[in-house]
Homo-oligomer: A and B are copies of this chain.
Amino acid sequence: FDKDLYEGNELAGVVTGLAWTPVGGDILFIETNLSRGKGNLTLSGQLGDVMKESAMTALSYLKANAADLEIDYKIFQHYDLHIHVPQGAVPKDGPSAGITILTSMASIYTQRKIKKNLAMTGEITLRGKVLPVGGIKEKILAAKRAKIKEIILCYRNQKDVEEIGEEYTNGLTFHYVDMVQDVLEIALLKKKVDNPIRFELPEEKK
């Protein structure tokens, strides 16, 4: 996983996640972009099957709830979505990037900015529930090293945070959530990115 420090929120679709690796926690970036096309989904970054299904679940959730986020459903049909998780040669798997992927997608389709200095980890389900994940201690340490200030977790991970000594968690604000609506309310700013995509969509026909 990527050893970079957190880098700001200038771009839509770039969201910071927290990963557990055999050698400790790490931050990782979910990157997405959109280009005119036919609604195809491309996943890259040596993602395993569980992580790919996580992305497909996130996309279905977003499509089914597009109206709530004021996303024109025609964007899903006329733009291709690519999700990449650097570094390209490092295999990655597991469900814990679910809410990070969902947030990245929500940002790119709405062109809204992501809150600064924020990271998150949690599985999503198709109805929008957030499920707890493992490796919380290592992930929190990695977030601190990367100067992250706020972390979103499933409320059922609160006990894992409380088990960690306060010296490791001070300076960090934790958001405990139950549903992805809560995640998006925290993570997705009202403000759009500079030079947002102006989506070009065909007139309704058929």
Least CB distance, A175 to chain B, in whole angstroms: 20
Interface of A is mostly: mixed
Indicate if the CB atoms of A126 and B31 lie closer than 8 Å: yes
Residue A25 CB within 8 A of the other chain? no
**Residues from chain B with Cβ under 8 Å of A49 in the complex:** 46
Identify the interface centre among A14, A54, A125, A131: most chain B CB within 10 Å of its CB. A125
How many positions in chain A have a CB within 8 Å of any CB in the partner chain? 49
A6-54 contacts to B (CB < 8 Å): 11, 13-14, 29, 31-37, 42, 44-46, 49-50, 53-54
Residue A127 CB within 8 A of the other chain? yes
Indicate if the CB atoms of A42 and B14 lie closer than 8 Å: no
Indicate if the CB atoms of A126 and B82 lie closer than 8 Å: yes
Q: Which of B56, B83, B95, B202 is within 8 Å of A87, CB to CB?
A: B95
Task: Using known A-B contacts A42-B56, A50-B89, determine if residue A14 contacts B127 with beta carbons closer than 8 Å.
Answer: yes
Indicate if the CB atoms of A33 and B50 lie closer than 8 Å: no
Indicate if the CB atoms of B35 and A45 lie closer than 8 Å: no
Indicate if the CB atoms of A89 and B95 lie closer than 8 Å: yes
Least CB distance, A101 to chain B, in whole angstroms: 12
CA distance A61 to B37 in the complex (A): 14
